[in-house]
Amino acid sequence: MDSASNDRAQLPRNMIENSMFEEEPDVVDLAKEPNINPLESEEVEYEPRSSRLLVRGLGEHEMDDDEDDYESSAKLLGMSFMNRSSGLRNNSGNYRQVQEGLCPTPSARTVIVSVVLVVILVSVVTVIYLLPKCTFTKEGCHKQTHPMELIYPIATNGELFPWTKSRLPNYIKPLEYDITLYPNLNTMEFSGKVNIRLNITGNPKAIVLHSSGLQDMQANVTIGGVIHNLTVLEYPPFEMIAMVLPDTPMKVTECLLSLEYRSNLSSSYYGFYRISYVDESNNSSWLAATQFEPLAARKAFPCFDEPAFKSSFRLKIKRSDEHIAISNMPKINTTVLPDGLQLDEFATSVKMSTYLVAIIVSKMKSITADVNGTSVSVYAIPQKIDQAQYALTAAATLLEFFSEYFRIKYPLAKLDLVAIPDIQAGAMENWGLLTFRETTLLYKENSSSLMDKQLITQVIAHELAHQWFGNLVTMEWWNDLWLNEGFATYMEYFALRSRFPDLNSDDNFLKARCDALEKDSLQTTHAISTDVQSPEQIAEIFDDLSYIKGAAVLQMLNAYLTEAVFHECIVKYLQDHKYGTTKSDGLWDSMNLVTKSNPDVKNMMKTWTQQAGYPLVTVVKKGKEVIVSQERFLRTVNSSSGNSSTLWHVPLSYTFGPCEGPTCSSSFLLLQKQDKIVLPSEPSWLKFNVNMTGYYIVDYGPDGWDALINQLHNNHTVFSASDRANLIHDIFVLSSVGKVPLSKTFELLAYLEKEMDIAPIRQALHQVHNIQSLLAKQDFTFLARRAEERIFDLLSPQINKQEWTDDGTLSEQELRSLLLDLACTHNDAGCTHNAMDLFDKWQYNGTSLPTAVKKIVYKVGAHADDRWEYLYSMYSKSLSEAEKIKMLEGLASTDNGKKVQWCVIYQHHDMSPAGEIFFSFLFTCDLH
């Protein structure tokens, strides 16, 4: 490659494109015309990737980095590449050296370069006149009235594919699917037949829908009673197929599309997949299951695989008589076929999106209960069905709660919860057929702990909340995923607080919000409602921001509006949009109808859903006056690099002391960069973000922090446990960017010797662990050890009070597990002695271990080779996934590098959730 090519290849893509189009009048610059969106406009379309017009700011349709793509695109416009600076860089080399006073004689190279430049100049001038939409006349370039010619992608058979966008057209919509599938668990293939009744608008040229990996496709369409065979065109980059319709005027508004195909059951956990497990006879057995969210229904049947294309579904499943089949709706009929197979037919579903369709073919067993006319069942493999009772009880309680709270009865006749032996997702909310990891559904008495019960209940609550938020009302497109996941996450904690108060969900929610704030303070964060188009972009937004930040801003709104008003708002939203799809604005509009726009919820909440990050609120107290200001917080050394123009409508809550009565707590809506609050009296201390219900952090300044620290030391119970955890979180975060001295954070932590609640202790341990890790990475091992010793010394009084039992509430058991784990990790002699004693009694006497401390006992015991071997043998026999995870953590804690390496080799095939967790622990071990 020549030097000019090398220089060009090193330029950023947008610089290359812009240099080609400088001052060209007829090139559409989408970066300057934000209203033109090639993925949505119906007037101008561009061919993706290959052989397309080069257009600046095209986003998803930008050029590839490959040099050939630039070259071919330039040729489409009759242009060649020019490096505008190359001629200047080597200017001195273009002429021979001559004596002073004599005219220089140009070299042959100079003549050639000059001729080339003239030719290029003439070509550019010609192109200016011959660009699309221009006509060459004596007066110059006149705009033509005809639109830009469409350039289409190429299908796999070499023909033009009649659609150019990554999103489906809206001129044909599905009304009903009739689907027959036969998953053959012997050949690991499946065949399918789909009839789709379609609604037609206008006179379309082709039917375009999604399909991925489906083979031997045969298609026909029935229009006005006449059947037309169709050629199927496939365009894999968009996972689409298209069928060109007969060249006859459409005289009907409906048609019937029929397709037959075959494919392989996936070996992944996505689409229509197969997994194996060990049955009761210790033999391998297979089942087939589906996971369609977000874009995998197209891998099982051709469909309109976007959330907005809701439709009803009629499913039929072929199976052998040794299996059962379950789907979203109840089974209404079973027919024995001539080949001995059985055909299960399921009732027609309510209108729903394709990603919620679900099918399972297996040998599972179930237990069932009736809940106000709805049949609720829990499925598991036969040897684990005895672990299903708690899930059935919890599901029944939560189903009643949500139906009552939302004022909309669960709309289906049945609800199945299925424990899949091997599944990647934690759980999935398929309407009427929820799928779970075994660890998030199955509970075994005397083996699972109260913490396991808490997890199971939370996950069931989350998936049941989706039956309304996500299934009944669905986001229109994946950019508003938070409408599904944020609401389901918020409702999972709210439901547990309402129906299972002993499971202590508030502390878990607070910890989750702190984790989300940590990630949302990075430059790489994104708004919770953000534009996504490609499958990769869609997959990326299934993160803590969509789930936890979405839930956090809803909790903040709840606290600001009051629980009663917020409740009315979400009931109104569900009623307004049931069985349909909507955007974020649909939620805010429904809420404003309840609040009568006082406050204007839409105007307020857009600042939280459409902007990345969150505010740092700075508080300055001057007597009774409090000056509050906001700026975006970024976790950088120079945190002031945050965008100062970014403003939120921040619902500040605050309390102060000394004070008595209702005026000691209040709220204030901060709408601008800075504002003032006037208190009824001058406080000695002032605390904002009461119970950490707001999604922001607060800096009180040196005097404000000193006042709060003094109050914590004098009487920390003035603040709730959530407020104490909030103060620990905020001061450490501010210290990490240099706004508060690190010494001040440990001054605050000194009160911990009197702390007995899990939330502040867990937050303190997390923050100190972050500091230890940072110091260790910088080789400040002495300082890292000092930090560990300091937190251990502060918590020693509480550690010494702990008993190795299952006594007490969930919160007390969580604290016991946390503190004893800290002590044994610190190699406290008393802790390790007790743990080894319990391990030996379990190994040699068969004594049951307290569930709250099992993990600690396993971790300490596994340091000895003989105990490690026994632990591994018990792991191999265990039928409880919750138990196996604790054992795996113990196995990974060994100091014996050979055993760890052996596990890596022999456990590599174990891709179950327990296996994934095992490997996460392996990478934290020191290999000797």
Phi/psi for 354 (5° steps) reads: -60, -35
Phi/psi for 300 (5° steps) reads: -110, -30
Binding site, annotated residues? 462, 466, 485
Structure tokens at 689: 């973000």
Among candidate residues 239, 163, 251, the one with its CA nearest the CA of residue 202: 251
Return the number of other C-beta atoms located less than 10 Å from residue 542's C-beta. 15
Tell me whether residue 812 is one of the annotated catalytic residues: no
Q: Are 730 and 697 in contact (CB under 8 A)?
A: yes
Phi/psi for 431 (5° steps) reads: -65, 115
Residues in the chain: 928
Mention every residue, 6+ apart, whose C-beta is less than 8 A from residue 908.
none
For the chain, first and last CA: distance in Å? 50
Torsion, Cα 879 882 888 890, to 10 degrees, reads -120
Structure tokens at 704: 């404000």
| Residues forming a β-bridge with 367 | 378
Question: 445, exposed or middle or buried, with CB in 10 Å at 0-12, 13-18, 19+?
Answer: exposed
Among candidate residues 270, 439, 276, 420, the one with its CA nearest the CA of residue 355: 270
Contacts of 767-773 spanning 24+ positions with Cβ under 8 A:
767/728, 767/729, 767/732, 770/732, 770/736, 771/732, 771/742
Q: Are 405 and 496 in contact (CB under 8 A)?
A: no
- Please report the sign of the dihedral spanned by the C-alpha atoms of residue 249, residue 252, residue 253, residue 254: negative
CA distances from 280 to 253, 367, 368, 372, 382 (A): 54, 18, 22, 35, 7
Distance of CA 380 to the CA centre of its chain: 27
Question: 203, exposed or middle or buried, with CB in 10 Å at 0-12, 13-18, 19+?
Answer: exposed
Mention every residue, 6+ apart, whose C-beta is less than 8 A from residue 714.
none
Instruction: Give 56-92 as a DSSP string.
Output: TT-GGGPPPS-HHHHHHHHHHTT-----TTHHHHTGG
Mention every residue, 6+ apart, whose C-beta is less than 8 A from residue 828.
792, 799
Can you say whether residue 468 is alpha, beta or left, with left for phi > 0 and alpha for psi between -120 and 50 degrees?
alpha
Q: What is the DSSP letter of 548?
A: I
Binding site, annotated residues for Zn(2+)? 462, 466, 485
Distance, CA of 826 to CA of 553 (rounded, Å): 38
Active-site residue, selected from the candidate residues 17, 62, 306, 463: 463
Phi/psi for 366 (5° steps) reads: -145, 160
Mention every residue, 6+ apart, whose C-beta is less than 8 A from residue 526.
541, 545, 612
Distance, CA of 323 to CA of 39 (rounded, Å): 45
Distance, CA of 837 to CA of 841 (rounded, Å): 6
Q: In what order do the strands lie in the sheet containing 414-420? A: 365-371, 374-380, 414-420, 433-437, 427-428
Q: Are 451 and 817 in contact (CB under 8 A)?
A: yes
Among candidate residues 536, 457, 535, the one with its CA nearest the CA of residue 497: 457
Distance, CA of 589 to CA of 566 (rounded, Å): 13
Distance of CA 132 to the CA centre of its chain: 43
Q: Residues with catalytic annotation?
A: 463
